[in-house]
Amino acid sequence: MNLKSLREEVLEANLELVRRGLVIFTFGNASGFDLESGLVVIKPSGVPYDQLKPADLVTTDLLGKIINSSFRPSSDLDTHLAIYRAFEGVHGVVHTHSRYATAWAQAGREIPCFGTTHADHFRGPIPVTPPMTDDEIKSDYELNTGHVIVRRFEGMDPLQTSAVLVSGHAPFCWGPTPAEAAHTAVVVEELAHMAFLTTAINPEAKPLSDTLREKHFLRKHGASAYYGQPVK
């Protein structure tokens, strides 16, 4: 992918967050990673979405070195970079402070898989990280946020569970492209809202059975998936 195309994709992912009501003011950010060039494109820090142009987006390498930009990158850059370095196949990362997903993060609770809508997208609960230590917060906070996420996913497939709640903070979502990461962020917010309503209606609600959860996830994402139309 050329840099121009990547900038356009990342801009579109950022604007999708606005269209879907997942960000306000200058909250949140989306980025994209091109494996061939090793370059990352991310929203600049503090620039209003309605003023963003492709040329405004900041390009860095995987170590955070800025490539030809007059803007500072998002303050969450190091978190995005940690995810790209650790999760093979991830080429888009989105961070929002969307209302319901952030509420679950602030509560320090994972989002349970209560129903088939959730299971269509995630093979189990959306995990939450442990709280960060004082030392992690005081030194290299954004990088350590990425490390906390990566540690939480030890033994997990980050492409089957493509989102996490950072305890006390907010959600990070990812995917094979910036567009798919943004799509996941929309889904996570909807599932967070549904889970909140479920617990309000029935505080004793139980997660979906393993059998029904697996059926719904695998019919969309398994080796023998039959949801939707075949790729021609």
pLDDT in tens, the chain (232 residues): 688 999 999 999 999 999 999 999 999 999 999 999 999 999 999 999 999 999 999 999 999 999 988 899 999 999 999 999 999 999 999 999 999 999 999 999 999 999 999 999 999 999 999 999 999 999 999 999 999 999 999 999 999 899 999 999 999 999 999 999 999 999 999 999 999 999 999 999 999 999 999 999 999 988 888 988 876 6
Catalytic residue among 100, 120, 134, 226: 120
Choosing from 61, 140, 210, 227, the catalytic residue is: 227
- Give the Cα separation of 59 and 133 in Å (integer): 30
Copy the structure tokens of residue 4.
Answer: 């121009």
Helix (H) or strand (E) holding 58: strand 58-61
pLDDT at res. 173: 98
Residue 228 Rama label (left phi>0; alpha psi -120 to 50; beta): left
**Residue 61 annotated as catalytic:** no
Contact between 118 and 52 under an 8 Å Cβ cutoff? The reply is no
Q: Which residues pair with 93 in a beta bridge?
A: 31, 174
Decide if 57 contacts 41 (C-beta within 8 A).
yes
Catalytic site includes residue 78: no
Residue 14: name the closest of 43, 34, 41, 39 by CA. Answer: 43
Q: State how far the alpha carbon of 202 is from the alpha carbons of 64, 81, 176, in Å.
A: 46, 40, 36
CA-angle at 163, arms to 45 and 75, nearest 5°:
15
Written as six digits, the tokens of 35 are 């494996």
Please enumerate in sequence order all residues whose Cβ is within 8 A of that of 19, keeping only pairs 6 or more positions apart, or say none. none
Number of CB atoms found within 10 A of residue 182's CB: 28
| pLDDT value for 189 | 98
CA distances 165 to 26, 103, 114, 173, 223, Å, are 20, 10, 17, 9, 28
Contact (CB, 8 A) for 161 and 217: no
Q: How far apart are CA 102 and CA 45, in angstroms?
A: 20
pTM: 0.95
